[in-house]
Amino acid sequence: MNLKLLLPLFLAFALAAGCAPEKKELVFAVGGAPSELDEWESVIEDFSREKGIKARLLRQPTDSDQRRQGILIPLKARVRNPDVFLMDIAWIGQFAASGWLEDLNPYINKEGYDLGKFWKNILDSADTFGGELVAMPVYIDAGVLYYRRDLLEKYGVKKVPEHWDEFIAVAARIQEKERAQNPKFFAFVWQGAQYEGLVCDFLEFATMEGGGIGLSGGKIKLDTPANRAAAGLMRDLIFKHKISPPNVFTDMKEEEARLFFQSGNALFERNWPYAWGLHQAGDSPVKGKVGIARIPAFPGRSSVSTLGGWHIGISRFSDAKSEAWEFLKYALSRGTQKKLSLALGWNPARKDVYSDPEVLAKYPHFRALSEVFSGAKSRPQLPYYTQVSDVLQRYLNSAVAAKTDPASAFGSAEKEINAMMERYK
Ligand code: GLC
């Protein structure tokens, strides 16, 4: 064939290919336990197929702090990926104050999207900043106590202990007996490693005594009798009562505690609702033997759970915002929320999933959990919360590890945080 004839054809083809707008691929960043990531892979696949939008999952680690770092770096650099991501409820203030989150109100108003399906108090307190709706909840977390029903029965304990003194006595007695067959047995596992989860656990111990992260006159107050008592009890569980293993303060995050309990080596576990589905999974050694209850309280006080949970937001720097909005709606649709809840035991952000008969049949404890949620306490919504938490984590971990006494740990943490806040002003 004549080459001269082929050339214009070739040029036309190359031009057409070069000029055609490249189809955008949506990048969704999410972390979590491996089972959670697998479920998100399947949501992303369904979304792409049903909506005809190319989308990819950016897999992040399990640890909340590492997940934050992974998203913070591209946002600080104002790069366009990831377009959409899950945020811990604890980071939203910082992300919003930094101007990294797209305001969802214009999308909502344009389409008349119904926000009535979500808890207004959560949207108002966690997702709204300066009048902008910068995120939406995907699932809600609150700390709960898992227990081995079979072991409590075996030792004649009729009721899950509601107060710490009774809890410690039951735990120590059963631990001693169980050790005869299983030298690895420890009665109680929780999150004590130096990371955000430690602060969540601490706030549960502290808030029920009236403590927590105090704020007055622009200053943080940490060294209080309630906080000292809380950190003292956390330390004593390991060193005095010896019902929690020493690696609580070195290694234990959510997954470490869950695996320890799930392998049959513990009586009690403090964790989030996601652990339920995994404890009850087909291959779990504790399947059918687990119960869920409220975290014990100090005598005369009521139990408190920390409010956690993950929220979805769109990056201001995304070049695929309308696709990201489509994905956000898909993640919050009744179908996806039900699927995630059934597969993972998550507590959906949508209220209508709680009355779904299939969900209630699988998770009868959801009814009781909604009570826990209504009393759950959030962490302070400060733009610099994560920096406050980083300092607190360091001193708190040292107190729990019995390296520093609680009074000097909180005194030093308070000083360092207030000096840091002065610099921010
Ligand atoms: C859970 C909670 C989150 C919390 C984190 C701490 O993921 O949902 O709010 O910060 O645990 O590890």
Query: Which residues face 137 on adjacent strands?
Result: 311
Per-residue pLDDT, 17: 45
Number of residues assigned to the chain: 425
pLDDT-based confidence at 165, cuts 50/70/90?
Answer: very high
Ligand 1 neighbour 272 (Cβ under 6 A): yes
The three-state secondary structure class of 246 is: helix
Ligand 1: atom nearest CA of 200 is 6
Cβ atoms < 10 Å from Cβ of 38: 12
- What's CA 301's distance to the chain center, in Å? 26
- What's CA 11's distance to the chain center, in Å? 54
Indicate the CATH number for domain 144-304+380-424: 3.40.190.10
Ligand 1 neighbour 126 (Cβ under 6 A): no
Ligand 1 neighbour 89 (Cβ under 6 A): yes
Residue type, 131: G
Q: For 223-244, how does the pLDDT look when each residue is reduced to its tens digit (9 = 90+)?
A: 999 999 999 999 999 999 999 9
Ligand 1 neighbour 141 (Cβ under 6 A): yes
Ligand 1 neighbour 275 (Cβ under 6 A): no
Nearest-angstrom CA–CA distance, 42 and 328? 15
Query: Which residues face 204 on adjacent strands?
Result: none
What is the average pLDDT across 42-68? 95
Query: Which residues face 347 on adjacent strands?
Result: 140
Per-residue pLDDT, 302: 86
**Is the pLDDT reported for residue 304 higher than 50?**
yes
Of 1 and 238, which is predicted with more confidence?
238
Nearest-angstrom CA–CA distance, 42 and 52? 15
Ligand 1 neighbour 197 (Cβ under 6 A): yes
Nearest CA to ligand 1 atom 11: 197
Among 278, 57, 35, 270, smallest CA distance to 171 is for: 270
The vertex-89 CA angle with 35 and 334, nearest 5°, equals 60
Q: How far is the CA of 364 from the centre of ligand 1 (A)?
A: 23
- Which residue is associated with the tokens 């209504």? 374
Per-residue pLDDT, 263: 98
Q: For 189-216, how does the pLDDT look when each residue is reduced to its tens digit (9 = 90+)?
A: 999 999 999 999 999 999 877 899 998 8
Q: What residues contact 2, with CB distance under 8 A and at least 6 apart?
A: none
- Which residue is associated with the tokens 């995304």? 318
Question: Ligand 1 pocket: which of 67, 196, 199 to mutate (most atoms <8 Å of CB)?
Answer: 196
> What top-level class would CATH report for the domain 23-134+308-373?
alpha beta
The vertex-95 CA angle with 87 and 205, nearest 5°, equals 60
pLDDT-based confidence at 405, cuts 50/70/90?
Answer: very high
The whole-model pTM stands at 0.89
Ligand 1 neighbour 88 (Cβ under 6 A): yes
What is the average pLDDT across 383-411? 96
Nearest CA to ligand 1 atom 4: 308
Core vs surface per residue 288-308: b (16+ CB within 10 A) or e: ebbebbbbbbbeeeebbbbbb
Question: Ligand 1 pocket: which of 63, 141, 274 to mutate (most atoms <8 Å of CB)?
Answer: 141
Ligand 1 neighbour 196 (Cβ under 6 A): yes
Among 347, 356, 308, smallest CA distance to 139 is for: 347
Element (H, E) at 145: strand 144-148
Q: What residues contact 39, with CB distance under 8 A and at least 6 apart?
A: 339, 340, 343, 344
Residue type, 25: E
What is the average pLDDT across 368-393? 85
Per-residue pLDDT, 408: 98
Beta strands 307-314 and 136-142 are: antiparallel
Distances (CA, A) of 117 to 122, 128, 138, 343, 353: 12, 16, 12, 21, 10
pLDDT-based confidence at 22, cuts 50/70/90?
Answer: low
Mean pLDDT of the chain: 92
pLDDT-based confidence at 218, cuts 50/70/90?
Answer: confident
Q: How far is the CA of 8 from the centre of ligand 1 (A)?
A: 60
What is the average pLDDT across 65-93? 95
Ligand 1 neighbour 30 (Cβ under 6 A): no
Element (H, E) at 37: helix 34-51
Question: Ligand 1 pocket: which of 67, 88, 125, 310 to mutate (most atoms <8 Å of CB)?
Answer: 88
Q: How far is the CA of 253 from the centre of ligand 1 (A)?
A: 10
Ligand 1 neighbour 309 (Cβ under 6 A): yes
Two structure tokens written together for 217:
């006159």
The three-state secondary structure class of 425 is: coil
**Is the pLDDT reported for residue 13 higher than 50?**
no
- What's CA 229's distance to the chain center, in Å? 25
**What percentage of the chain reaches a pLDDT higher than 70?**
94
Residue type, 236: D
Report yes or no: 269 and 289 within 8 Å, Cβ to Cβ.
no
Domain segments of the chain as ranges? 23-134+308-373, 144-304+380-424
Q: What residues contact 392, with CB distance under 8 A and at least 6 apart?
A: 199, 202, 213, 222, 413, 417
What is the average pLDDT across 335-348? 94
Q: Where are the beta strands (DSSP E) in 225-289?
A: 266-271
- Which residue is associated with the tokens 């656990």? 201
Residue type, 388: V
Q: For 104-122, how does the pLDDT look when each residue is reduced to its tens digit (9 = 90+)?
A: 999 999 999 999 999 888 8
117: which DSSP letter? G
Report yes or no: 269 and 286 within 8 Å, Cβ to Cβ.
no
Report yes or no: 395 and 413 within 8 Å, Cβ to Cβ.
yes
> How much is the CA Rg of the chain, to the nearest whole Å?
24
